[in-house]
Amino acid sequence: MTQHHFDPSILRAYDIRGRFGDTLNVRDADYLGRSFGTRVLRAGGQKVTVCRDGRLSSPELTEALIAGLRSTGIDVIDIGCGPTPLLYYSVFSLEADGGIMVTGSHNPIEDNGFKLLLGKNALHGAQITALGELAAHGDFRHGQGKYQNIDLRGRYLNRLLQDVDLKLLAEKGFKIGWDPGHGAAAEMVTRLVERLPGTHYVINGEIDGTFPAHHPDPTIPENLMQLQTLVQEKKLDLGFAFDGDGDRIGVVDREGGIIWGDHIISLLAEDILQRTPGATIIADVKSSQVTFNRIAELGGKPLMWKTGHSLIKEKMRETGALLGGELSGHIYIKDQFYGYDDAIYVALRLLNVFAGHKTNMQVLLAAYPHQVSTPEIRLFCEEKRKFIIIEEVLSRLNSTTHEVSTIDGMRVTSEQGWWLLRPSNTQAALVVRCEAASPDKLNLVIAHLNYHLGLSGLAPIVHSI
């Protein structure tokens, strides 16, 4: 019986991720394949799809992963290099029993990892830990699975365009900028714009695992600077950016302003709620209060939930929500689609919204009430300590009149605004965010948070407004 022990640090809340050649190697990929293949077979499945991003280590990790899967008797369908949503699409369209995406997402160049689906559901938490335990025991199934290579890119592109009103887009004649950041979505974006009406400019449109232009993380403003320059110099209507594996979106308006994920949720909600009044729409705890208020104003049922793609998708299935999203740019559309996070599809649905609205794009964007907020701030501390701090602050807040939500860490609301303190699921850190209607009120919110951070031995956050 062959056993294998993964570095514990790579088994994370939502996926498996580590530094290639250090905490993550080819042997890990092989044994992940054996563990996951065994898990699928025990669940009565037989067929697993595999896709990889453009990182330099992805081909050899994929080869080892497939070997491990096949050694259990699992039949593998290799769909090649592409974005994570292509992997999701393959599981749905090919009726596979599971899928694995080899990707480091938006992590540093040296990192890589795996996102896993059992059936159509993303594995997370204890389910991922269980794969490590299975490998440690070495209790694998044995067999010789089949191998097949299928190119799904054309079918996937057709599906993306299925819900787009091409005639209406042609009438509007939008000018759009696209920046896939040399990530896994680059080829699909390049092929997509050839079929879209209007004028389109694509930058960083080749897959390159060294990410020479900028890091592929659209939640970091500096990574959007090249797109902002393009939009303003070419006088474009809008710009779209994507992360390393194409499941998160960044949006830039014609003035170069950033449209964050929670604002995107509001824009899509208006369209969806016109067709399905009263629908449940989910946003994560980091999202603006304006988003939840707007959903309610539109006749929807706003639901605040935990941050994390696996967690929100699970909650959407539980509640029947038609839309979910996160401040980070993960947007999940169940209305007319599959309910997973596909950034290219989100971009197309946004174009539909703007094309179908009577007012022009900037007027629609300006209707979103302005709030003042901090960015997401990470306070690094010992892994065990971060949970202790949460308990300490909660115990002190019990004696106050503030409204406290404990869905994910704590979100504390007062007349001035709100602040969030939650444990990171991926790092030894606490995550902080604050929001208010004005700079003066934001300073009061920050001061209240800093008071509690100080009592727990943490340095205050500093934010320039």
Both tokens assigned to 258: 């950033």
User: How does DSSP assign 12-41, residue by residue?
Assistant: -SSSEEEEBTTTB-HHHHHHHHHHHHHHHH
* Residue from 18, 40, 110, 21 nearest 427 by CA: 18
The position carrying tokens 């946003």 is 283
C-alpha torsion sign, points 315, 319, 324, 326: negative
**Residues 131/68, Cβ–Cβ less than 8 Å:** no
Q: Which residues of 173-206 are buried (b: 16+ CB within 10 A; e: fewer)?
A: ebbbbbbbbbbbbbbbbbebbeebbbebbbbbbe
User: How does DSSP assign 122-152, residue by residue?
Assistant: E--THHHHHHHHHHHHT--------EEE---
Please say if 105 is a catalytic residue.
yes
The position carrying tokens 């947007």 is 331
**Residues 217/223, Cβ–Cβ less than 8 Å:** yes
Q: Are strands 258-259 and 249-253 parallel, antiparallel or unpaired?
A: antiparallel
* Residue from 440, 277, 316, 298 nearest 368 by CA: 298
C-alpha torsion sign, points 108, 248, 320, 406: positive
Q: What angle do CA 165, 351, 169 make, to 5 degrees?
A: 45
Both tokens assigned to 247: 């499941």
Residue 311 backbone dihedrals phi, psi, to 5 degrees: -70, -40
The position carrying tokens 């209790």 is 139
Q: Is 407 exposed, middle or buried (0-12, 13-18, 19+ CB in 10 A)?
A: middle
Q: Which of 105, 266, 287, 328 is catalytic?
A: 105
C-alpha torsion sign, points 337, 342, 345, 350: positive
Both tokens assigned to 324: 């979910």
Indicate which residues carry an active-site annotation: 105
